[in-house]
Amino acid sequence: MLTAEFESLASQIDGDLARTPIDRCMLATDASIFSIRPEAVVYPRHTRDVVATLEFARCHGLSVHPRGAGSGLCGSALGRGMVVDFTRHMNRLIRIDRDAKTVECEPGYRLGEMEAALAGSGLFFPPDPSSGEYASLGGMVATNASGAHAVKYGNVADYLMDAEVVLASGQMVSLAALSTIPMGELPDPFGRLAQCYLDHRETIETGYPAVSHNVAGYNLRGLVKDGRLHLQHLFCGAEGTLGIATRLKFRLMDKPAHDSLVVAFFDTIHKAARAVQAILPMQPAGIEVMDKSLLELARASDPLLGQRIPAGIDNVLMVEFDGRRSEETEALGRQVLALLAARELTNDAHLSVSSQEKARFWAIRKAAVPILYKLKGEKKILALIEDAVVPTDRLVEYFTGIYALLNQHQVRFVVYGHIAKGLLHTRPLLNLKDPADVGLLKTLADGVFDLVSGLGGVVSGEHGDGRLRSAYVRRQYPALFPLFRKTKRLLDPDNLLNPEIKTASTADQMMRHLRYGTGYRPQNLNFRSLNWPSGWQAAIERCHGCTKCTTLTTATRMCPIYKFTRREAAAPKAKANVLRALISGALDDGALYQKAFQAVIDQCVGCGSCRLECPSNVDIPKLALEARAAYVRRFGPTLHSRLVTGVETLGRYGGRLSRGLAPVLRFGLARRAGELLTGVSRHRPFVAMARESLFRQVPPVAGSGGKRVIYFSGCYAGYIRPGIGRALVQTLTRLGMTVYTPVQHCCGLPLLTKGMADAAREKVRRNLARWGDLLSRVDYVVVTCSSCGLALLQEWGYLLNTPLIRQVAEKVIHFSRLVQPAMAAAGMRPVNLSAAYHQPCHLKIQPDPQCTASLMGSVPGLTLATLKSHCCGMAGTWGLAAKNESLSRTIGNHLMGLIDSSGADVAVTDCPTCEMQMAQLGSRPVMHPVEIAARCLDGIS
């Protein structure tokens, strides 16, 4: 379509319209197996933008695809037309009315945000899908989401009080307002819809399987009650095919104050199914199952889980009760134990009532499922037949049938899920680059449909139909399907909204538009600067699009830039998406060297949090480093990059010069000129070098103890704040260690983050040359800078693959891990200080990330507040740039608020650039934890 036509739409809306190839690639996928590039993406700011978009789409014959967080497993948010994404702008919490127990929000608001807003109120929103921390409320309405506790609390439809909905025609309606209008006065098309229900009431009310959780097709039941039209249950689960919600209102419930958990191990699935039948009358809040397929995989993949999960068991049930009184929930748990023993179902069951006990058992469940995404090899865990629900009295037959079907086709699989409501997440492992496995998609889906429908169930229990299961809606409901189509025609006569979902009947739909599939042919692009032991292509393809990386709360550190911009390009998954588009040929080879492509890559600041927190452990920072290095190799580094990575050079040769510049740079004109020339923000304080470097203040060898260490100070302690290095040497020598502090070079990480891979590699080589054979003679290489620690532990291995590099990685240790046992033995002097500790991102992703918090928690007299914070916002040298300074401050303000709220005397962190940010934005002195360690050892021999 002509760009001019889209420019016309862009001028009509207050939101954003994006249609570059890169923008379209970023929205071509969700958490499903599919990939479809839209014609354009609209990010509306308000309802009027949605109306204008629908009008434009209708005039130009384009389909419209509403999108929430993109965490759906069925591909419902994808399509060739116009994707309407609500997460960028229409994401507000409108109000929480605690007296009325209601919440109103826009569709892009996340459940995790709602839970944070409700904390301490005594209220909660019961639906809790596993993606809830990052799922949008609009998306949850679209799928009628539920979760682990739905057996007691139901689905989203049970809580939706009102929605402002825009129909495909542009007509705006309130569902609550419609429900007040007498039948004879309903406007079109709602009067005809109500009459359709009345004409076919018996067919509708008797036409659905007897399962309580069913999102297959449209829910027409109860559409008219007491002469009024009630559309909440119809729109919930309609997957954006009948209208677009722009405002939502939900009821809340009083949150149970107590809960108990029974964990029971069984030797057969039949006994577990019988146990579920016996427990259900007791009204549990939820019952989860993990069967032998998942448990065996978890035990084999994780040594810790191998210890926690008993050998020889077939499955485990986790039975949860909640209520207002602890005596009540504990008594129910004990009844379950007695019931299981009396019926000789199992004697291996445990009741947990304390938070520590429950956390230990839930840790098994939470750790086991993410393992599925980390499995090596071409076969990946897929959502395909994962949503089947059967009557709970047919569970044994379902298990027997699903095992037989998958074993017949020699497909590995796992089963887990919400067994209390008869819903099992069966996930096969398939390689969708293999034509044979692609062929199995329909074979398995057909087999599961036949099995489940024969047992009186449905194949879509809570995730939706989407592109995976819409093909089965007609077969599921032969009598109702014509009414589904009539409903669609009444509310969307032009078939504008998600036309391939729900009422489309393409038999092989689940095999079309695959993200990989038989036509996927990755190119071998030879521009790599880094080592990729498992392959560059494989690293890109590990991202399965789950969207966890767009979590907005402090439940994750990732991604600091996305959290505060909510722009798709900032999400870690966006980098994987554009890189996959590059290697697959969806983007031209030259796209890598375009500014638009690099703008996406530059949204990664290298905090590394996604490397740890991503369920698939996709190394987005390393992928971004590689892409940035290719660009810099072709065009060279900018002056700004050269300057902010030149601390070592300035420290070595310009220390006195830098201090002389400080008075000059106090003048505003000089600072503005400096910003124009260098790109460094004029609002950042000038960082002067110390008069004497650390290497002139401490001897090359200090102490004479038996434990010997190399101290790698990094540039900050080496040239800017040598007091940190002095404190470290003082601490280690007092603890009886020999400390070698050779003159050293930058760790290379600042250079690498700017794409200067060759220069970083040279720094590594020079450091190794300086150390010579000293490396083999010491016990550890100790660091006080968390970023230097990460560089030595991991990034050096990106640049060089030698035995020396591996030796460094084996010996590097953060100072806190090294000194805590020795300090406890030596005894410590009370420090009488209160401190607020910020854990750096780069420490969080290293071994024993709590080491500093643990060390300081052991210091007598120190009152410690460990902050649950976001990234500080400086992100290495990223926050120094004028173009990033405002966002850097915005990110950092959250941390500053936590520090102020703590009332601490000082702020503490292990990271130099975190320290700089905290010192500039905060009002308290900032210390390095080694300075506190040195203080509490002062005077102790």
Full set of structural domains in the chain with CATH: 3-85 (3.30.43.10), 536-635 (no CATH), 675-818 (no CATH), 828-938 (3.40.50.11810)
pLDDT surpassing 70 at residue 636? yes
Most confident of 185-189, 504-508, 660-664, 826-830: 185-189
Question: What 3-state DSSP class applies to 352?
Answer: strand
Nearest to 85 by CA among 157, 139, 144, 162: 139
SS3 247: strand
- Between these two residues, 2 and 779, which has the higher pLDDT value? 779
pLDDT score for 665: 66
Side by side, the strands of the sheet bearing 82-85 are 16-18, 40-43, 82-85, 64-67
Please tell me the predicted confidence (pLDDT) of residue 420. 95
- Please count the other Cβ atoms lying within 10 Å of the Cβ belonging to residue 667: 10
Instruction: Considering only CA atoms, give the Rg of the chain.
Output: 30
Name which of 583, 423, 448 is nearest 516 in CA terms. Answer: 583
- Cβ-based neighbours of 290, under 8 Å, separated by 6 or more: 298, 315, 316, 318, 365, 368, 416
Interatomic CA distance for residues 561 and 558, integer angstroms: 8
* Two structure tokens written together for 772: 């010579």
Helix (H) or strand (E) holding 906: strand 906-909
Contacts of 842 (CB under 8 A, 6+ apart): 607, 608, 786, 787, 789, 790, 911
Q: Which of 556, 552, 606, 550 is nearest to 574 (CA)?
A: 550
Q: Is the pLDDT of residue 688 over 80?
A: yes
3-state secondary structure of 785: coil
pLDDT at residue 161, rounded to an integer: 98
Question: Alpha-carbon distance 119 to 103, whole Å?
Answer: 13
Count of Cβ atoms closer than 10 Å to residue 278 Cβ: 15
From CA 535, how far away is CA 530, in angstroms rounded?
10
CB 154 within 8 A of CB 146: yes
Q: Is the Cβ–Cβ distance between 420 and 393 less than 8 Å?
A: no
Nearest to 372 by CA among 315, 434, 430: 430
Burial grade of 7 (CB within 10 A; 0-12, 13-18, 19 or more): exposed
What is the pLDDT confidence band of residue 656, given thresholds at 50, 70 and 90?
low
Is residue 493 a contact partner of residue 208, using CB atoms and an 8 Å limit? no
Helix axis angle, 912-921 relative to 885-902, nearest 10°? 80
Q: What's the pLDDT score for residue 663? A: 73
Higher pLDDT, 3 or 531: 531
Q: Could you write out the DSSP letters of every residue in 176-213?
A: HHHTTS-GGGPPTTHHHHHHHHHHTHHHHHTSS-S-S-
Amino acid 297: pLDDT: 81
List phi, psi (to 5°) of 299: -65, -40
Q: What is the mean predicted confidence (pLDDT) over 119-140? A: 96
Predicted confidence (pLDDT) per residue in 885-897, tens digit: 999 999 999 999 9
Rounded to the nearest integer, the mean pLDDT of the chain is 94
**Nearest one of 627, 602, 589, 511 to 21, comparing CA atoms:** 589
Tell me what the mean pLDDT of segment 327-350 comes to: 96
| C-alpha–C-alpha distance, residues 98 and 411, integer Å | 50
pLDDT of 927 > 90? The answer is: yes
**Which of the four pLDDT bands, split at 50, 70 and 90, describes residue 939?**
low
Mean pLDDT within 796-806? 97
Q: Is the CB of residue 72 less than 8 Å from the CB of residue 176?
A: no
59: tokens are 């005039």
Report how far residue 372's alpha carbon sits from residue 264's, in angstroms, rounded to the nearest whole number. 22
- Farthest-apart Cα atoms in the chain, separation: 95
What CA dihedral angle connects 630, 636, 639 and 644, to 10 degrees? 40
DSSP string for residues in 139-177: HHHHHT--BTTHHHH--GGGTEEEEEEE-TTS-EEEHHH
First vs last Cα of the chain: how many Å apart?
79
Report pLDDT for 658. 66
Instruction: In whole angstroms, give the CA distance from residue 158 to residue 103.
Output: 14
**Whole-angstrom distance, CA of residue 534 vs CA of residue 512:** 29
Tell me if 652 sits within 8 A of 613, measured CB to CB. Answer: no
Res. 557 pLDDT band, cuts 50 70 90: very high
The pLDDT, as a whole number, for residue 303 is 80
pLDDT, one tens digit per residue, over 839-874 is 999 999 999 999 999 999 999 999 999 999 999 999
Which whole number is the average pLDDT over 713-719? 97
Measured distance CA(359)–CA(518) in Å, rounded: 43
- Measured at the CA of 92, the angle between CA 90 and CA 96, to 5 degrees, comes to 145
For the chain, what is the total number of helices (H) and then of strands (E)? 45, 30
Instruction: Determine the average pLDDT of the residues in 781-786.
Output: 98
Peptide bond into 604 cis (omega under 30): no
Residue 323's DSSP bridge partners are 258
pLDDT of residue 526: 81
Does the pLDDT value for residue 940 go beyond 60? no
pLDDT at 752 over 90: yes
CB 144 within 8 A of CB 167: no
pLDDT at residue 363 in the model: 74
Residue 224 carries which side chain, given as an amino acid letter? V
Distance CA 84, CA 42 (A): 5
Dump pLDDT digits (tens) for 34-92.
999 999 999 999 999 999 999 999 999 999 999 999 999 999 999 999 999 999 999 99
- pLDDT over threshold 80, residue 240: yes
Instruction: Report the DSSP beta bridge partners of residue 425.
Output: 416
Angle at 242 between CA 239 and CA 245, to 5 degrees: 75
CB 876 within 8 A of CB 804: no
Res 659 pLDDT > 70: no
d(CA 222, CA 219): 9
| CA–centroid distance for 24 within its chain | 21
List beta partners, residue 320: 261, 286
The answer on pLDDT for 941 being more than 60 is: no
Q: Taking 70 as the threshold, does the pLDDT of residue 660 lie above it?
A: no
Q: How confident is the model at residue 582 (pLDDT cuts 50, 70, 90)?
A: very high
Number of neighbours of residue 795 by Cβ within 10 angstroms: 24
Q: Determine the pLDDT at residue 301.
A: 77
Backbone dihedral angles phi then psi of residue 322, each to the nearest 5 degrees:
-135, 160
Residue 98 has a pLDDT of 97
> What pTM was computed for the model?
0.95
Quote the pLDDT of residue 272.
95
For 906, other C-beta atoms within 10 Å of its C-beta total: 18
Which secondary structure element, helix H or strand E, spans residue 621, and what is its range? helix 620-635
pLDDT of residue 356: 83
**DSSP H or E stretch at residue 319:** strand 315-323
Could you tell me if 320 and 261 are in contact, meaning their C-beta atoms sit under 8 angstroms apart?
yes
